Amino acid sequence: MSPVARSQAHAARVLAVSAVAIALALTTAFGVAVLANRGSVEVRLGDDTFAGQDAEDAARQIAESGPILYPDAGTGDRDIILQHLGDDPETGWLAFAARPAGSPRECTLQWQEDDEVFLLLDPEGERRGACDGREVPADGEGLTQYPVRVRDGELDVDINAADRTSTTEG
pLDDT of residue 50: 67
pTM of the predicted model as reported, rounded to 2 decimal places: 0.68
How does pLDDT run along the chain (170 residues), one tens digit per residue?
555 555 666 666 766 667 776 777 777 666 666 655 665 444 444 455 667 899 999 999 999 999 999 998 888 788 999 999 999 999 999 999 999 999 999 999 999 999 999 999 999 999 999 999 999 999 999 999 999 999 999 999 998 877 766 555 55
- In angstroms, the Cα distances linking 141 to 43, 44, 97, 98, 121 are 32, 30, 10, 12, 17
Closest C-alpha among 89, 33, 77, 83 to residue 62:
83
Q: Considering Cα of 51, then 57, then 63, then 69, what sign does the dihedral take?
A: negative
Neighbours of 109 (CB within 10 A): 25
Distance CA 124, CA 65 (A): 18
